[in-house]
Every structure is written in C-alpha cells, then in structure tokens.
Structure 1
Amino acid sequence: MEFIDEVHVSEPGLVVLDVTAHDEATARTVMSGIEKLWASSGVTPVRREPGQAGVRARIYLHTQCSPGSDDRPAFAEGWLPSSTAPGDVEPPVG
C-alpha cells in the first residue's frame, strides 16, 4: 500500500483504513458499509498485488463527520491518490 501522508491523520477522528479481502466484491461491500457510517473517500480502487493473498484497497474516513455532511476536513477533495480512477481494478504486475 502507499505511504500514509500526515495530513490524512492530522486531527482526531481521521482514519486511513486498509482493506484486504478475498475478492473485489467483498472489498467493495465493506467500503460501501463504511461510507454509510462516516464521511469517507467512498469506494476506492481495488488492487491485486503479486505474491499477496486477495485484493487490497484503502479508504479514508472521518469518524466525527456523518456521510454527506458539509463539515468534512478541508483536504477531503484530495484524499484519493490520483494513480487509479475509482472503480478500476489494477491487474497483477509481473
């Protein structure tokens, strides 16, 4: 997984959660459930990493904000790394 930038955990309530699941559907189900509880980056790209079991994803959330609220952190628009469009599954490398 990518480096966690300090801004993503710069105040109480901010969380970076790495998800590992058997398949893409399971990872997306977990992230969909999380985004119903708290303000989050939403369902993020799911990746397959060579030599690692299952698929991986990362979701950014703020546990002190409700979904769809206007009190999200100032960096909320840029919490997703721009390497992959949401919904894409990266193929194994190698």
Structure 2
Amino acid sequence: MRQINDAHVAEPGLAVVEVATADDQTAFALQEVLATRWATAMADRTTRVPGEPGVRLRCYLDRHRTAGRWLYP
C-alpha cells in the first residue's frame, strides 16, 4: 500500500482506516458500514501481501462530514 500522506490526517476528524480481513466480502462490508455514518472515500479493490493470509483495504473518512459527501473524488 502507498504511504499515508500528511494531508490525509492534516486536522482532527480526518482518518485513514486500514482494514485487514480474511476475504474481500468482509472488507467491503466493513467499508460500507463506515460509509453509512461518515463521508468516506471508498476503495474499489483490496490488496494482498504474498505469503500473508487475508486481504487489506484502505479508505479515508472525515467524521465531520455526513455520509454521502465524498472527501476525495
């Protein structure tokens, strides 16, 4: 995964959420739950690390914005 940019967490309320799960379905389900509450820049794919179990997904959220408004297009 790419480095976390300082702009992603430049002020209180901005967060980078990285999820490690057993499968894609679980990762995307958790992302959907986050997006129902906060503005979330959703990931469209997961990543796999060779030799490690499971998948990872990273999304960005702004807890000051309501769901449905994207932080990053």
Tell me the TM-score normalized by structure 2.
0.89
Shift of 1:64: 1.1
Letter in 2 for 1:12: P
Shift of 1:42: 2.1
Q: Following superposition of structure 1 onto structure 2, how do residues 1-94 of structure 1 map, counting pairs within 5 Å?
A: 1-69=1-69, 76-77=72-73
Structure 1 moving runs of 4+ over 6 Å? none
Q: Which has the higher contact order (CA 8 A, sep 6+)?
A: 2
Q: Is the 8 A contact 1:32 1:43 kept in 2?
A: no
Aligned residues: 73
Q: Secondary structure at the match of 1:52?
A: coil
Q: Give the unaligned 5+ runs of structure 1.
A: 78-94
Percent identity between matched residues is: 34
Q: Give the structure with the larger strand fraction.
A: 2
Q: Give the unaligned 5+ runs of structure 2.
A: none
Higher radius of gyration, 1 or 2: 1
Tell me the TM-score normalized by structure 1.
0.71
- Partner Cα distance (1:56, 1:30) in 2: 12
Q: Pairwise CA RMSD of aligned residues?
A: 1.4
